[in-house]
Structure formats: C-alpha cells, structure tokens
Amino acid sequence: MKNIFKNKLQFKVLFCLSFIIFLSCDTDETQTVATLNNLVWADEFDTNGTPDSGKWNLLTGDGTAQGIPGWGNNELQTYTDRSDNVTVQNGVLIITAKEEDFQGKSYTSARITTKGKLDQQYGRFEARIKLPTGKGIFPAFWLLGDDNNGSLVWPQIGEIDIMEFLGDEPTTVFGTIHGPNYSGANSITKKYEIQNDRFDTGFHVFGVEWTPNQINWYVDGDLYQSITPADVSEETDGTGEWVFNRPFHIILNVAVGGNLPGSPNAETDFPQRMLVDYVRVYN
C-alpha cells in the first residue's frame, strides 16, 4: 500500500526539509536546483496490469537486435514483456527476474523505458523503490541520452545512473555518469552507504537534479554527490566531454549477471523483484 507523499501534510514537511538541505549547500547552482518543484510527468502505477503504454516501452530480447549483445555488459538475461516479468499490481510496478530457460537464456527479466514518450532535458527525476537482493542481481534506475536519430552512439549520448545496486551489497547504491573518455570501468561514480538499514528491506527515494552545469544525486533527500563540467575535466585530465545537454529518457530494469555484478551463485534465490512505487519528473 502506498503510504508516502499521499498525505499532503507529510509531503509539505518532507519538501520543506529537503529545501533546507538544498540551501545548506554552498554553491549557487545547487540553490537553483532547489526550485525544481514543478511536477511535469509522473507514473503512480495506480492501474493494474501492463505498464501504461502511453508512458513506457517494454524492451525485449538480449540486446542482439539492438546491436549490443548482452546489453553491453555481457548480461545473462533476456528481457520480455510478459506479466511474469513486468506488471503493475496494487499501486506498484513489479519487475521480476526469474531463473528459467527462455529463448536460449537461463534468466528472464524486464526493462522499460520512456524513449519517445518522455525525453526531457534537465529537471529532477526521482523514484521510490524497494530493491531485490542476491549475488548477480543488478537493478537500476537511469537516464540515457538522445541518439540524434541514430547518428550518435554510447557513450557519446551520455548516461546518468540515478541508482545502481549490486544485490550482494545491500547497504550501498551508486550514482554514476558515462560519457566520452569516462565510460564503463572508467566512469565517474560515487557510492552511498545507508546507515542502520538495507535497500532490499524497504522503499527508498532515489533521485537526481540536473541543470546545465551540474548533476546532484540524492537518497531519501540526502545529497551525496555533485558533478560539474569542471569535475569531468579534472577526472579525465581534460579529455572528457560534458554531454549532458540534450534530452534524456528514463530506464528501469533488473539485469542478471554480466561484467558487473558477476554471475549469480548457489545462494542467489529466484525470483527476485524490484518494486517501484512511483516515478516523478519535475522542472
């Protein structure tokens, strides 16, 4: 049952606390980010069944059809649009990773995107999510840049990982960007470690606020990373290009195996589910 942000008083209190946190940061850019409170798009997942086709695309396959087998990470799953792998029930989006033989793969899961339905340049993107667990389980909430009708390829299009999670590290999430000369294992990233809690036992709010010259990462309203063009230049000895100046779309998925996080082991239980209470976008 949804029990957060539905009560208007709770929402106002949380917003005010978040605003205070934002203002405590000492850069003008961060203070500007605090004004991004105009809700422009949302999915509250209030209708049971298949995710809203007016908002989401359901990708299928193992990436081969897109020219990136293993989805660029040598992953072990194939994505499907079956209700076994992706459905909305009781106000929650459920993405389920299963161990099963399907289309030549040993695992199935789901990946949904807003490409062509919501492609937004700048704003605050956030989701309230309960994460799955286990070695080899790799859920993510992320943004991918516009490919200019196919003329650009990754990492030139840019990638903003709002939240990535390794199922065998239940107290830690990552916030990351990928671009030219800082992609894959050389991406610019930072961990957030939760105190006295785990990300697989309850819902948490993951978000970024993205402006022309800064991206900020938050977990439950806590700012834990800020990256600017100057940071990219410093991290790459001047070779990195800031490519976060085009529309991006949202992706939610649960991968299984791959270069990161490695394969499941005998202790990994299936099925594993990522639960998403809502996704909201502000400007």
Per-residue pLDDT of the chain (283 residues; tens, 9 = 90+): 444 334 434 434 444 444 433 334 443 444 444 568 999 999 999 999 999 999 999 999 999 999 999 999 999 999 999 999 999 999 999 999 999 999 999 999 999 999 999 999 999 999 999 999 999 999 999 999 999 888 999 999 999 999 999 999 999 999 999 999 999 999 999 999 999 999 999 999 999 999 999 999 999 999 999 999 999 999 999 999 999 999 999 999 999 999 999 999 999 999 999 999 999 999 9
Out of 29, 75, 100, 164, which one is annotated catalytic?
Answer: 164
CB 247 within 8 A of CB 145: yes
Phi, psi for residue 116 in degrees, rounded to 5: 80, -5
**Taking the complete model, does pTM exceed 0.85, yes or no?**
yes
User: For the chain, how many structural domains are there in total?
Assistant: 1
Task: Round to whole Å and give the CA distance between 275 and 173.
Answer: 16
Examine residue 56 and state whether it is found in any structural domain, yes or no. yes
Active site residue 159: yes
Examine residue 21 and state whether it is found in any structural domain, yes or no. no
HSE-CB for 79 with a 13 A CA cutoff: 24
Domain of 79?
32-282
Q: Give the residue among 281, 260, 87 at the shortest CA–CA distance from 184.
A: 260
Active site residue 164: yes
Examine residue 156 and state whether it is found in any structural domain, yes or no. yes
User: At 227, which CATH number?
Assistant: 2.60.120.200
What residues contact 55, with CB distance under 8 A and at least 6 apart? 41, 43, 114, 117, 118
Task: Round to whole Å and give the CA distance between 228 and 157.
Answer: 17
Examine residue 67 and state whether it is found in any structural domain, yes or no. yes
| Residues 96/102/104/108 CA torsion (nearest 10 deg) | 0
Task: Round to whole Å and give the CA distance between 127 and 205.
Answer: 6
Out of 99, 100, 126, 159, which one is annotated catalytic?
Answer: 159
Examine residue 24 and state whether it is found in any structural domain, yes or no. no
Examine residue 180 and state whether it is found in any structural domain, yes or no. yes
Examine residue 196 and state whether it is found in any structural domain, yes or no. yes
Q: Give the residue among 214, 211, 202, 43 at the shortest CA–CA distance from 127.
A: 43
Concatenated DSSP letters of 208-263: EEEETTEEEEEETTEEEEEE-HHHHHHHTTT-------S-EEEEEEEEESSTTT--
Examine residue 255 and state whether it is found in any structural domain, yes or no. yes
Cα end-to-end distance, the chain, whole Å: 28
